[in-house]
Amino acid sequence: MCSLLTEILKPFYTWGDIFPFTDIREALSFCRHKKTGIAVFILDVYLGKETAFDFPDKISEKFAWAAEDAVIITGNAGDDVVNMCIASNVTHLLENLTGH
């Protein structure tokens, strides 16, 4: 899924770089060492033992708007996921309605 999203976004995101990660620890390390700037974070709801809602909090020192700049993706946006988005100030949620 990460590779697919990267390929879909490349033609549209022409003013910067796309950095895909499948390991949350690697992504956190990258963000913590990256110069602060404009960023959009596309996150799967479940990131191993953590959730997408943990990620913005952990990089908010460098990326203050990380929650507002996050897009959460999920296969099932039940009430719990929607409520977590609201509680975490995440305003972008994409749900795969096809079940794939």
User: What's the predicted TM-score (pTM) here?
Assistant: 0.78
Question: Is residue 98 scored above 70 in pLDDT?
Answer: no
pLDDT confidence of residue 9: 82
| 63: CB partners within 8 A, 6+ apart | 31, 36, 39, 41, 56, 69
Distance CA(85)–CA(81), nearest Å, equals 6
Question: Is residue 61 scored above 60 in pLDDT?
Answer: yes
Average pLDDT over residues 5-32: 84
Question: Is residue 16 scored above 80 in pLDDT?
Answer: no
Q: Where are the domains of the chain?
A: 39-100
pLDDT confidence of residue 99: 53
Between 35 and 98, residue with greater pLDDT: 35
